[in-house]
Amino acid sequence: MKITAAQLNPVVGDIEGNLKKAVDIYGKCSSEQSDLVVFPEMFLAGYPPRDLLEKPWFIEQVQKALDKLTKVSEKHPDTGIIMGVPIRTGQDTGKGLYNSAVLIYRGQVLLSQNKSLLPTYDVFDEARYFDQAAEVRTVSFKGEVLGISVCEDAWNDPELWSRRNYPYNPMEEMAGKGATLFINISASPFQMGKEDLRFRIINSHARKYGLPFIYVNQTGGNDELVFDGRSMFLDRNGDPVSVFPAFTEHVETVDTGNQGKRGLYVPQDRLESVYQALVLGLGDYLRKCGFSRAVVGLSGGIDSAVTCSLAVKALGRENVLGISMPSPYSSAGSVEDSRKLAENLGIEFKVIPISGIYSAYLESLSEHFRGTEPDVTEENIQARIRGNILMAFSNKFGGLLLSTGNKSEMAVGYCTLYGDMSGGLSVISDLPKTIVYELAHYINRDEEIIPEPIIVKPPSAELKPGQLDQDTLPPYDTLDLILRLYLDEARSVKEIIEYGPDPETVKWVIKNVDKNEYKRKQAAPGIKVTTKAFGSGRRMPIAAKYGFRED
């Protein structure tokens, strides 16, 4: 059988636009005599639609689009289509919706295979919207028996997990009901290391059941999530016949009778995948929100340099404005390093000193602050002046302000509300500082884009004389180790100390992570690239009193 996998980038809520894209590809594949065209999970609605699913008018529009697609299939009598879509259950109890893969052929729906396993961990909250499938079925189609599953349904292989999230395995049920071909439609977000795990899962099913496996994932950025695609077709031995490129739309037809080749699948380089994910996530976020330009505050530091470089790659140099705002404590090198970065990137660059504005602030507050010593208050005033200037340019000229804080600093609250946290998108807020440095070297892999002085000089907020980040924070390699163990792996204080960090440093980091939830709650959305990002996937209380246990 000739099957076309359509790895595409939907827009959430753009039902008519997503339908048009599907119909155009369907017609083209039909003319090329494809037997079946497969689209990703929830493609007509876009994924994740979140609380749009609770709007009756939205579900009605999706159903009308599905009806149109079913009518279109009459024009292509030799080609079927599998579409990911939310459909009503028709029941008076439960959520009233299924997350479904619908097989359409010659004007009829041959099968609606509803999702069985509804993830409710990390960024997923599907039990909020969907009911679980009542049963798993297979369907005969053009000489094959199709076992069609939706994303998570393929992720419960008992051989890969020490503790499974669900009591049963839909893939095993489909194989037991005579499936001769597995097809999984997905909206599986990117995170570092996940691509290799995904391949091992699909490979395991193909080998265990001796069945070819077609996996179709969406690509593109939707809010904080980025979808990397990497759709693939594996033969019955688990060997790849075709592996699609990452982070781009790709439509390809495969023959299920073809044999695969070991070694065809090679995971992406870690830094390359992070770079591409951030570029795609940034670009899609702006475009899908109606922006075409970005504003970046250039401090002369590595975070703003990396952010600005990503923006240029995503949007084009003509659509990025960089602004340097020196204060009384800024080094001359900070402005010149920023200017050199702007020249290397070819972007518009402005210098707006803030010393006069800062003096006016201090003068206005002098009577009220009399008898107190300068402290973090005066430091934060400078950050907030800069935030206001950047937002003024965003308002006046329409570019989205990009926040430049990294995960290490956001974690422990080394950031200023309404200052450097201002912005519409926090591009690198899920990148630990150590990886920010690695990414800077990756950006410079072919030529110097980020000036070397920006990379090698000690990080500083430059909000008081002689200030360095390491005066307040542990060394970044130590900080990032503690954060990974505490946030990503949920390790105890005792366990973290066993990895080598000083006990008092470990306790300081954890205390500051916990007490700064209120700051992160007000942060701009960030692009998720690690296993545990701040945002929708981490839900900690703010008004709470709890202490960490050392064991």
Q: What is the DSSP code (8-state) at residue 242?
A: E
Is the separation of the CB atoms in 117 and 155 below 8 Å?
A: yes
Q: To the nearest 10°, the Cα dihedral for 198, 200, 204, 210? A: 90
Please give the C-alpha separations between residue 349 and each of 336, 339, 346, 355, 417, in angstroms, as whole numbers: 11, 7, 9, 19, 25
Question: Which residues, in sequence order, are CB contacts of 367 under 8 Å at separation 6+?
Answer: none
Beta-strand ranges (E) seen in 175-236 are 181-186, 213-217, 219-222, 225-228, 232-234
* Euclidean distance between CA atoms 384 and 358, whole angstroms: 10
* Euclidean distance between CA atoms 61 and 541, whole angstroms: 36
Is the separation of the CB atoms in 286 and 319 below 8 Å?
A: no
Please give the C-alpha separations between residue 48 and each of 86, 99, 226, in angstroms, as whole numbers: 11, 11, 11
Is the separation of the CB atoms in 480 and 538 below 8 Å?
A: no
Question: Residue 141, SS3?
Answer: strand
Q: What is the identity of the amino acid at 380?
A: N
Catalytic one of 21, 29, 41, 462: 41
Identify any residues that bridge with 182 across adjacent strands, giving them in sequence order: 147, 213
| 433 catalytic residue (yes or no) | no
* Euclidean distance between CA atoms 7 and 9, whole angstroms: 7
| 308 catalytic residue (yes or no) | no
Please give the C-alpha separations between residue 129 and each of 66, 113, 342, 383, in angstroms, as whole numbers: 19, 17, 46, 41
* Euclidean distance between CA atoms 509 and 89, whole angstroms: 48
Token pair, residue 546, equals 């709890």
| 447 catalytic residue (yes or no) | no
Identify any residues that bridge with 403 across adjacent strands, giving them in sequence order: 426
Q: Which of 232, 205, 186, 198 is nearest to 84 (CA)?
A: 186
Q: What is the DSSP code (8-state) at residue 132?
A: P
Identify any residues that bridge with 426 across adjacent strands, giving them in sequence order: 403, 526
Catalytic one of 151, 152, 407, 532: 151
Is the separation of the CB atoms in 388 and 282 below 8 Å?
A: no
CB neighbour class for 276 (10 Å; exposed up to 12, middle 13-18, buried from 19): buried
* Euclidean distance between CA atoms 342 and 320, whole angstroms: 10
Cα angle 107-112-114, degrees, rounded to a multiple of 5: 160
Is the separation of the CB atoms in 151 and 116 below 8 Å?
A: no
Q: What is the identity of the amino acid at 325?
A: M
At how many degrees (to 10) do helices 433-443 and 270-288 cross? 90
Catalytic one of 115, 288, 407, 528: 115
Is the Cα torsion angle 71, 72, 78, 80 positive or negative in sign? negative
Catalytically active residues are 41, 115, 151
